[in-house]
Amino acid sequence: MTTLAIIGAGPGLGAAVAERFGREGFSVALIARNQAKLGELVDSLSTRGITATAYLSDVHDRDALTRALAAAADELGPVEVLQYSPVPRREFLLPLLETTVDELSTAVEFSIYGPVTAVQQVLPGMSELGRGTILFVNGSSAVTPNPKVAGTSVAFAGESAYGQMLHDTLTERNIHVGQLIVPGAIRAADPVFAPEVLADRLWRMHLDKGAYRVTVGPATA
């Protein structure tokens, strides 16, 4: 059995993706900062017959993130799918002229150093498996800079560039890298932006291994 590791797992999109992949036989490693919410999510998935384990980690703590992913692979099976989708923090969402160097450096650590740390940890296992998928989930500021949210506009752009380079480099190893752009609020019962709909889109990205970037919207729903 192989593992889906979700960095930034929570009760919305993370829970939906965990259930979608879990139904297909994946074990699920849930990685986030909030132990109580992780425990609730594990319990909920367990009632659906899905093997899930919680790992407490903050993406700003590279050593802790590395340990969490290593433990997941040891305990659940090699990580075949990595999803990096932590929710940006408030300090990343300030207007341009209110964004300080410290706030911007924190955003870069969150959206660039975190993904690089995670990818470097799981890549050897994917190479040994001979397959794998790395999925990034970002908002629209990743592709269209928005001065109202300067931190994510700068840091998501770097994450996007890193992912694109990974996509181009790892294809020959049968490792697909994809980015899902969600240009709107994730909300229940929405035909385009509901967590379950987005989870199914991510599952199809894993299966189809197509283009790097997929943008959610009415035309592609």
- The tens-digit pLDDT sequence of the chain (221 residues) is 899 999 999 999 999 999 999 999 999 999 999 999 999 999 999 999 999 999 999 999 999 999 999 999 999 999 999 999 999 888 788 999 999 999 999 999 999 999 999 999 999 999 999 999 999 999 999 999 999 999 999 999 999 999 999 999 999 999 999 999 999 889 988 999 999 999 999 999 999 999 999 999 864 43
Spell out the residues 6+ positions from residue 189 whose beta carbon is closer than 8 angstroms to its own: none
**pLDDT reported for residue 219:** 41
Per-domain boundaries in the chain: 3-215
Please give the class, per CATH, of domain 3-215. Answer: alpha beta
DSSP letters, 1-27, are: --EEEEET--TTHHHHHHHHHHHTT-E
- From its phi and psi, is residue 54 left (phi > 0), alpha (psi between -120 and 50) or beta? beta
**How far apart are alpha carbons 166 and 112 in whole angstroms?**
13
Helix (H/G/I), strand (E/B), else coil: 81: strand
In the prediction, which pLDDT does 218 show? 62
User: In this predicted structure, what is the pLDDT of residue 69?
Assistant: 98
pLDDT of res. 89: 83
> What is the phi-psi region of residue 133: left when phi exceeds 0, alpha when psi lies from -120 to 50, beta otherwise?
beta
- pLDDT given for residue 161 in this prediction: 98
Q: Residue 24: exposed, middle, or buried by beta-carbon count in 10 A (0-12, 13-18, 19+)?
A: exposed
